[in-house]
A and B are shown apart, each in its own frame.
Chain A
Amino acid sequence: MSGSVRHFKLVLLGDTAVGKSCLVVRFVRDEFFEFQEPTIGAAFLTQSVQLDSSVVKFEIWDTAGQERYRSLAPMYYRGASAAIVVFDLSNKESYNGAKSWVKELMRRGDPNVVIALAGNKADLPASQRKVETEEAQAYAEENNILYLETSAKNASNVKNLFVEIAKKLPQQAMQQEREQGFTISPPKQEKKSCC
């Protein structure tokens, strides 16, 4: 039933403290911490989504704080098939930030990258909301990207966010346009100690 497993790199983008790490931790470990450390301390996290006929396995890269001064390295965008651009629904500034992250992604990322805009902290009372659904929705449609409102705190729409992205990813492992290399692994424990 599970079918083939397809692997994709997914990157998170968005201003500081909008809940990027929280979304991932909720999705990957189903946990939430009110005071999540600014970075999650791992190179990347992995989690799979089951679709009808296949499994999509995400390798999720967090910004590790390098978004704070807009110092993300090209390596971060490279090879990313999907990106989640997160903003805080109660912070207009972060919504404007998200729009510039989308622009940055279109400039630096893969031309076919699947982008989802996530309005996070949907659990907050409506009185604190600073970005209206219609506005973000219209922006997303205009730019042909997904839009979901999520709450890492109460888990609403978090899994759905990844499922929607998984559905939009190419069915076949795409014919690699780019050359691929090999990874280097530690030498086997034997013979020469020189290497």
Chain B
Amino acid sequence: MADFEEKLADTPAEAEPAPSSEPEPEPEKEPEPEKPSWLPEGCNQLADGEYDAIVLGTGLKECIMSGLLSTQGLKVLHLDRYNYYGAECASLNLSNLYSKFQAGDPPQYLGSNRDYNVDLIPKFIMACGNLTKMLLHTKVTRYLEFKSIDASFVVQNNKVLKVPATPQEALSSSLMGIFEKRRFRSFLIYINEYNPSDPTTFKNKDLTSMTMRQLYVSFGLCDATHEFISHAMCLELNNDHLDSPALPTVLRLQTYCTSLETYGKSPYIYPMYGLGGLPEGFSRLCAIHGGTFMLNADVKEVMFDDDGAAWGVKVDVDDMQTGKRELQCAKATMVIGDPSYFPSSKIRSTGQVVRSICFLNHPLPSTNNSESCQIIIPGPQVGRKNDVFVCCLSSQQNVVAKGIYVAIVSTKVETSDPAKELIPGLRLLGQILQRFDSVSECYEPTGDGLSDRCFISSSFDGTSHFEADCDDLLSLYKRVTGEELDMNIDTSLEPDY
């Protein structure tokens, strides 16, 4: 018998294998798989057909959601209409960037396409903020490397001044006079010691009723100091917080100070190769736990049942067998996604953000040749309500070719001439090689998703960090799962081999 088998293995390929006792399979034609009853007329099944959750758009929040849900055992299908990860917060190479802005071919002097990872949305990560906690919680940190941002600046009286990162810098800073510096110092000591759960640290100040303005005044701080603390350290976007209870702003200042202590140069960190690495990292987390990803999947519609609840999606995709585009359908108990995938009745506008992506061949003037930095222009300094932000990155973060810098200027739109609103930021850049402007409409969901099964994230806001986006994510998570996300770092999760 053994001989016979060996002989068989040596038989030339055209010979039929020995007949077995099993019945011959039907020749040629594969049995037509039975179409599930839920499949609409004219549609084929998309991927595995039935899922627990369908996630639309590979933006950061959507990828964190699919990562978290799949680690909990849910079967996730994740789709994106574009051929790259990241949606609104993608980091694009030159050719994708130029095609997105319909700007023709990239000029030769910018160098190699693969050296570029240009963020569409400029944001930095607070070293000790919620996004960092989420990265640690999910261990997505293992896919990413970071760099500290060199410095943070604030504009005061038309001058670009460094936000002090050390007590020494605070002493030599021209942001404040000598007596103001002492008051600033005692204010920071108070903030550092303040603990919301320990009344002995309150020093007779009730920050839940006292306003931020009152708190500043109680330390004798002048208006100019309020402004740089609030805008460049607490990262308030406008002055609304001054007349609201101080506590939330104080907590933001604490996050800033702890973040600053962690890495020294500035409170911000940034992933090598661009922010796009963040959604990619979470997508890998999801995939490792069985999630299915399809890019270049043109979602035609979210489908609703008679009660108005979403039950699936209809998508125009490349069929893997035929290579041709065709309509396919998948079903799930919930549909999660960014606002751009849902009917207009499910979302409402929250305003617009204007952004300008600029390539330079030099670091930003008056930033002491920082290879990476942020400049905050408090709105009131330039006759506006909302702040203008400038983020600058270089080859230090592997987001542009050597010798090139990318600066992104952004602000919340206040007038009918958004491009003009960026001028206070653009004029800090010096000579600009290339410039790409865009105005994005921002949306939020009109409902919580509980009855219509549409769980929609909010658009990325105009802030220069992810803190508000994390709050939105936590809310989304709670709506989807009915539970608060436990962000404690679980070291048992998914051990390395």
Contact = CB atoms under 8 A, between A and B. Distances in A.
Interface of A (DSSP majority class): loop
A39 B147 contact: no
B320 A184 contact: no
B410 to A, nearest CB: 24
B135 A43 contact: no
A126 B291 CA distance: 36
Interface stretch (A48-56, A67-75, A167-175): A67-75
Interface size class of A (residues with CB under 8 A): 35 or more
Given A42-B288, A183-B144, A125 B9 contact: yes
A195 B8 contact: no
Interface in A113-159: 125-130
A179 B12 contact: no
B15 A127 contact: yes
A39 to B, nearest CB: 6
Contacts of B47: 69
B436 interface: no
Contact of A64 (B136, B281, B288): B288
B397 A179 contact: yes
A69 B294 contact: yes
Interface in B250-282: 254-255, 258-259, 262, 269, 271-273, 276-277, 280-281
A42 B262 contact: no
Given A75-B284, A182-B145, A183-B142, A46 B277 contact: no
A43 B289 CA distance: 10
Interface stretch (B208-216, B346-354, B411-419, B489-497): B489-497
Contacts of A103: none
Given A41-B289, A42-B497, A195-B259, A183 B141 contact: yes
Nearest to B281: A75
A181 B271 CA distance: 8
Contacts of A178: 398
A65 to B, nearest CB: 5
Contacts of A74: 84-85, 273, 276, 280
Nearest to A125: B9
A178 B398 CA distance: 7
Contacts of B127: 184, 195
B111 to A, nearest CB: 13
Interface in A66-90: 66, 68-71, 73-76, 78
A110 to B, nearest CB: 9
A71 B141 CA distance: 21
Interface of B: 8-13, 15-17, 47, 84-85, 114, 127-128, 132, 135-136, 139, 141-147, 254-255, 258-259, 262, 269, 271-273, 276-277, 280-281, 283-284, 287-295, 320, 395-398, 489, 491, 494, 496-497
Given A73-B283, A75-B284, A128-B13, 6 more contacts: A65-B287, A74-B273, A180-B272, A184-B269, A194-B254, A195-B262
Interface of A: 28, 39, 41-46, 64-66, 68-71, 73-76, 78, 108, 125-130, 178-187, 192, 194-195
